Amino acid sequence: MWIEIYEKNQENAFPLQPLPSNCIEEYELQFVVWRVKKIPKSQGEKIDISVKIEISQNNYKSEDITDIHYNSRDGNAVFNYRFVEKLHFPNKFNRLTIKVLNNRTLSSEVKAELNIDLTNYLRNIRRKRSKIQKKKNWERLTGKWLKIII
């Protein structure tokens, strides 16, 4: 604990500030996967594309997946799929993982992946007590592109 003692005439020089709470609060993450493009495939092969997300927080993990875009010949797919996930903060580990999958094989093959640390986003939301909205943009996934809005 730290205590500072001031003279009576100095009390207005340092206004009181509320202390942050350690109570765990629930937040909601909403984002849309619009489309993916240039997903690698073999020559002449078709690809069945889906997008999977994983939310990891301390001992909690949730997963969700889009529908499958069948028979893509050029490695592009259009989804317009909205993800809504519950998050809790403060946590030491807040990660969003986005994977582009090829579902044509027996086990879904990961073609591209993006990891986003959500800690700073959640810290800013908690501090400002307002939502954060980002514009639609392309996010780079291990060499390929995925159009998302977070």
The number of helix segments (H) and strand segments (E) in the chain equals: 1, 9
pLDDT number for residue 53: 92
Q: How far apart, in whole angstroms, are the C-alpha atoms of residue 66 and residue 74?
A: 19
CATH of domain 22-149: 2.60.40.150
pLDDT number for residue 64: 92
Task: Classify strands 60-65 and 109-117 as parallel, antiparallel or unpaired.
Answer: unpaired
**What stretches in the chain show pLDDT beneath 50?**
148-150
DSSP state of 13: T
pLDDT number for residue 21: 72
Give this prediction's pTM.
0.75
pLDDT number for residue 134: 73
* Residues 48-74: tens digit of each pLDDT: 999 999 998 888 888 999 999 899 888
